[in-house]
Amino acid sequence: MTERFGAIAFVASETPEAQAALDKLVERYGNADPAEADVIVALGGDGLMLQTLHRFLGSRTPIYGMNRGSVGFLMNEFKERGLRKRLAAAQQSLVHPLAMRAIDRSGSEVEAKAINEVSLLRRSYQAAKLRISVDGQVRLAELIADGVLLATPAGSTAYNLSANGPILPLDAPLLALTPISAFRPRRWRGALLPDHAKVTIEVLEADKRPVSAVADHIQIDEVASVTIAIDRSVDLVMLHDPGHSLDERILREQFGY
C-alpha cells in the first residue's frame, strides 16, 4: 500500500515554519513533479490547503496537509518522520466544489469554483437587498442584510459557522444557506437545502446597494445575480490520519472541542 504513494510532491506556504519543514521533508523524501506525483503534501494552514485544492482541481491527486500555519482544521499534525506510513494509513475524504456563475451589472459573466462557500457581501454603508430563488422558485422575495452565503459541508465550519450557520456532517446531502447580519426578515436564520439544489441570488437596487460575490478567494464586484450549484464532475480527495478525519473533526466541532 505504501507504493501507492511512492512519489510525493511538496508544496508550502511562505512562512519560515513552512519553509523549514519543506527543506527537511524534501531532504528525507525527495520532491516529485506535482504532475507525476501520487500524492501532494501541503505544508501550512487552512489557507494553503484551500489554495492547493484549487491548484490541483480536477486532478484527483490526493492531498495530505500538515499544519505549519495558525489555523489547521483541514490539516494533520506535523511530523517529520514516518510520513509514508501515515500516508498509507490515511483515510480519504471526498468532496465536490460549488460552481458559481456570476453576472455583473455590465452583463459580463464570471465562473468560479468554491470548496468552502460562495458569499455575497455588501460593498457600501447600505445593507444589501437580495432575492433568493431555489430551483427556479422564489423562496425569499427580499432579504435585507450584510449578505448571504451558501456553504458546503466541508465549508460549514468556516465562514458559515462564524455567521451562526449550522455545522453539516461531511456526508450530509445538504448545503447551508446562511444570512449575514440579517435585518429583514429579522427572524430568518437561513435554510438547509438539498445538495442538488440550484440557488439563484439576485441583487436588488444594485446601483444603490453594490454587492460583491466571493467564491473562496475569488471576488467579483458589482454583481447583478449569482447562480450556485454543486459540481459533481469534480472530485477533491483529502487525506487525514485515522481518528482525525474531516468527518471526525466536524463531529467534534458540534460538541465544542
Q: Which residues have a catalytic role annotated?
A: 46
Q: What is the DSSP string of 124-163?
A: SSSPEEEEEEETTEEEEEEEEEEEEEEE-TTTTTTHHHHT
Cell representation of residue 10? 511538496
Cβ–Cβ < 8 Å for 213, 219: yes
Enumerate the β-bridge partners of residue 163: none
Cβ–Cβ < 8 Å for 94, 216: no
Query: What are φ and ψ of residue 96, in 5° steps?
Result: -115, 140
Helix (H, G, I), strand (E, B) or coil at 232: coil
